[in-house]
Structure 1
Amino acid sequence: MSISVVVVGNDEQVVRQIEGYRGELMVTRVCEDIAEAIAACAVGVANVLLVSGRDLLPPQEQIDAVTSQQTVLVLLDEKPRTDGIVQGMLEVDASMPMLELELLVVQALRELKQLDVLGEGQNAEAVEQDNSSTGKIVCFWGAAGSPGRSTVALNYAVEAALVGKSVVILDADTFAASISIQLGLLDESASIAQLCRVIDSGSREPARLEATCLSVEVGTAVLKVATGLPRASRWPEVRASALRRATSVLREHNDLVVLDVASPLELDEQLSFDTQAPQRNAVTVEMLRSSDEVFMVVAADSVGIPRALRAIDELADHIPGVNLQIVFNKLGTANTGHSPKRRLLETWDRFGPSHSIAGYLSQDVVSCNAALLAGSPLAEIAPKSTLRTEIRGLLGIKSTEKRLKRLSRRIG
């Protein structure tokens, strides 16, 4: 089996070494600039993109585009770094023998193919074993129309922190971020964009990433908050691939990473030129793909349920294989009539898909409005509310446990 190589740069010595070695590596094209090389990778010409100099290395966004095509990027450098953060990228000594280079390339190609298979859900057991020593990524998503996913996500994260877990919540809604508003934080820095900038700088130090987040104290617990975009027009600052790597690092050093994402999933057509067009909804798509658990928050009324059913169909078209856990929110007699849970189950059994139902959350307008007005979670404003107990149930916390007293909060 031959491995096609596209070489960037006018380093004739590298080409002669590959051709003279007569191994599996085979030079198929030599490009003078990186744009031409990336275009070749995009059409599937290359298995390996070999860059003969750090000054020719493309920006991080284009590196992500290359590796997403299952193409290994190899950088030849006199002083290669060993702390690379991009899966599928190799930094090797320019004087490395071709035999060793070939072995590294073959191993990198196998890893990329294995990751692609795991991404399609064909080896869930291997994924579970790999994640056993790290934290969990939980994503809250829902159909358009304010089903209450941000409120549920925030209070879910707070309750997890109160039982002793180290928790980071990321407001990844590129349309209407609201976590900072619900916590009463006057923040214009957009921690979510800062996370991406730190990752794009080549660092994966957890201390640097967590330094971009705000620390919110609720009682004896500390919740780390990555605030969202204060203006929706800043969405290009949050790149899906960079945010995916940031959440991966945070997951390795925390028990729980909670994501609040926007509703839309559709992507524009990719440009088939030198680079790819930025995608506003790519953040939602990428976060749903990389999460361990996905809660879909559904407004339990005659408008929210049809919207949810259409959104589930759209999700199956765009991201097949995502295992949703349905959370019915705003459940009450005013929305569904008498015996709301029974009526809801009858409707869902008749029209809904076969996704499991994780819980039912009551409509508690008084407590939610009071919490929003005070800029606080339910644990501070309404610690004995039924809604808070039901959200704790999503975490597996039994309602019979001793209730916590009213809590105070500090921000650091």
Structure 2
Amino acid sequence: MSISVVVLGRDEHLVRQIEGYRGELIVVRVCDDAAEAIAACAASGVDVLLVSERALMPPMEQIDQLAGQRTIVALLDAKPERVSIVPGLVEIIDTVGMVELESLISQTLARLAHDETQMNAGSVAAQGTGVEPAGRIVCFWGAPGSPGRSTVALNYAVESAVSGDSVVVLDADTYAASMAIQLGLMDESASIAQMCRVVDSGSRDPARLRAACLAVEVADATLMVATGIPRASRWPEVRAAALRRAALTLRAHHDLVVLDVAAFIELDEQLSFDTQAPQRNAVTVEMLQCSDEVFMVVAADSVGIPRALRAIDELDEKVPGIELQIIFNKVSSSNSGHSPKRRVLEAWERFGPTHRVVGFLPNDNTVCHAAILAGSPFAEIAPKSSLRSEIRSLTGKKSSNSQAKGTTRRLSKNV
């Protein structure tokens, strides 16, 4: 089986070597610049973009796009990196023989095809990190509106951290980031965008990713927080593929990575002729696909439940294979009548899908408002509240109502 190759760079010696070898590699085009080479690969369904020198390397975003169409990038360099976190990228020493070059390219093509089958499982090894996952990625999603997914996500992370887990929170909501606000942080550094830049630079060092986060002390525990973008207009800075690799790398070195994402999953290419344009909602889709567990937060009222049902239908259609765990939030007799849990569950079983219901969170506006005003999680502001107890039960940890020593926010850059 032949392997089509586009060569980036006018290296006549390299082209003559490939053609003289007469193996499976077939040069279909030689290009002078990256834009021409990317276009040639996209138009012809080329297997390999062979870059003759590092100075000609296309940006990571374009390498991701090529990997999406099953085209790998092979870089010839005097000092190649042995391991890459980028799927579809292989670096090869420039003195390699044609037999070994063909073998390495064939192996990378096979690995890229295998990666696609493992994407939904969120396998770190499948993403090229070379390490097995140590922890879990847990994503909190919900229908449009305000079901309370950010509040639940933050307090779930805090309860896990208080129990002794090493926890990182990623605020990946590209519409309305709120983790910094809920923790009372005067921070506009957009840690999530910094992480994407670190990954796009080709780094797989977890220390550099942690350095972009804030170390926040909450309820006698330390929580690593990657704050979101402070303005919605900055959403192009958060690249889906880069953030996925950052999350998977962090999972390999922490017990828990908690993701807070936006509600929308509609992909922009359905509305545009430019399929190479940035995808705002692709961040949510990528985070859902790479997570080990996905909790859907549903507002337990006559508006929230129908919205959730429609959102699940859309998710099943556009991002199939996501196994949701349902959390009903804001459960109260004023919303659902007498015996609210039973009534909500009956309505869900009558009209809803078969996804497992794992929690009912009471509607405690007093505690929620006090937490926002104080910039503190429930473990600090209301350690004995039933809302905190229910969220803690979602983590599988034993209940603890111990009073926090203080509620003053203390943070430092984790450098």
* Normalised-by-shorter TM-score class: over 0.9
Asked if the contact 1:44–1:69 (Cα under 8 Å) also holds between the matched residues in 2, the reply is no
Cα distance change, pair 144–38 in 1 and its aligned pair in 2 (3 A):
same
Matched, 1:226 2:226: yes
The one-letter code sitting in structure 1 at the alignment partner of 2:261 is V
- The alignment partner of 1:171 has SS state of strand
Residue 349 (structure 1) aligns with: 349
Q: 2:401 aligns with which of 400, 403, 410?
A: 403
State the Cα distance separating 1:209 from its structure 2 match: 1.2
The residue correspondences of 1:324-403 to structure 2 (distance < 5 A) are 324-398=324-398, 401-403=399-401
Residue 81 (structure 1) aligns with: 81
Residue 31 (structure 1) aligns with: 31
Render the CA deviation track for 1:364-402: whole Å, top value 9, x for unaligned: 11111111110000000110111111101111124xx44
- The alignment partner of 2:251 has SS state of helix
Distance 1:389 1:320 in 2: 33
Asked if the contact 1:382–1:388 (Cα under 8 Å) also holds between the matched residues in 2, the reply is yes
Of residues 375-384 and 354-363 in structure 1, the stretch that sits farther from structure 2 once superposed is: 354-363
Cα distance change, pair 132–395 in 1 and its aligned pair in 2 (3 A):
farther
Render the CA deviation track for 1:326-381: whole Å, top value 9, x for unaligned: 11100110111111111111111111111111211111111111111100000001
Residue 198 (structure 1) aligns with: 198
Residue 41 (structure 2) aligns with: 41
State the Cα distance separating 1:283 from its structure 2 match: 0.9
Asked if the contact 1:76–1:93 (Cα under 8 Å) also holds between the matched residues in 2, the reply is yes
State the Cα distance separating 1:33 from its structure 2 match: 2.2
State the Cα distance separating 1:237 from its structure 2 match: 1.1
Residue 300 (structure 1) aligns with: 300
Distance 2:231 2:15 in 1: 49
Distance 2:160 2:79 in 1: 44
Distance 1:122 1:394 in 2: 22
Distance 2:239 2:133 in 1: 27
Distance 1:143 1:181 in 2: 21
Asked if the contact 2:86–2:202 (Cα under 8 Å) also holds between the matched residues in 1, the reply is no
Residue 180 (structure 1) aligns with: 180
Cα distance change, pair 3–144 in 1 and its aligned pair in 2 (3 A):
same
TM-score, length basis structure 2: 0.93
Distance 1:229 1:298 in 2: 25
State the Cα distance separating 1:44 from its structure 2 match: 5.1
Distance 1:236 1:61 in 2: 11
The one-letter code sitting in structure 2 at the alignment partner of 1:372 is I
Asked if the contact 1:156–1:395 (Cα under 8 Å) also holds between the matched residues in 2, the reply is yes
The one-letter code sitting in structure 2 at the alignment partner of 1:258 is V
Distance 1:385 1:44 in 2: 61
Distance 1:230 1:84 in 2: 31
Matched, 1:134 2:173: no
State the Cα distance separating 1:408 from its structure 2 match: 2.2
State the Cα distance separating 1:19 from its structure 2 match: 1.5
Distance 1:225 1:122 in 2: 21
The one-letter code sitting in structure 2 at the alignment partner of 1:116 is E
Asked if the contact 1:141–1:296 (Cα under 8 Å) also holds between the matched residues in 2, the reply is yes
State the Cα distance separating 1:272 from its structure 2 match: 6.5
Distance 1:217 1:187 in 2: 15
Residue 113 (structure 2) aligns with: 113
Residue 189 (structure 2) aligns with: 189
Distance 1:363 1:131 in 2: 42
The residue correspondences of 1:209-358 to structure 2 (distance < 5 A) are 209-269=209-269, 276-358=276-358
Cα distance change, pair 7–272 in 1 and its aligned pair in 2 (3 A):
farther
Residue 91 (structure 2) aligns with: 91
The one-letter code sitting in structure 2 at the alignment partner of 1:309 is L
Alignment gaps of 5+ in structure 2: none
Distance 1:402 1:268 in 2: 45
Distance 1:31 1:382 in 2: 64
Distance 1:120 1:198 in 2: 24
State the Cα distance separating 1:206 from its structure 2 match: 1.4
Distance 1:158 1:101 in 2: 49
- The alignment partner of 2:269 has SS state of coil
Distance 2:226 2:77 in 1: 36
Asked if the contact 1:41–1:69 (Cα under 8 Å) also holds between the matched residues in 2, the reply is no
Distance 2:44 2:29 in 1: 12
Cα distance change, pair 132–92 in 1 and its aligned pair in 2 (3 A):
closer
The one-letter code sitting in structure 2 at the alignment partner of 1:26 is I
The one-letter code sitting in structure 1 at the alignment partner of 2:79 is K
Asked if the contact 1:8–1:32 (Cα under 8 Å) also holds between the matched residues in 2, the reply is yes
Asked if the contact 1:298–1:304 (Cα under 8 Å) also holds between the matched residues in 2, the reply is yes
Alignment gaps of 5+ in structure 1: none
Distance 2:349 2:43 in 1: 45
State the 4+ residue runs in structure 1 displaced beyond 6 angstroms: 270-273
Render the CA deviation track for 1:233-263: whole Å, top value 9, x for unaligned: 1111111111111111211111101010011
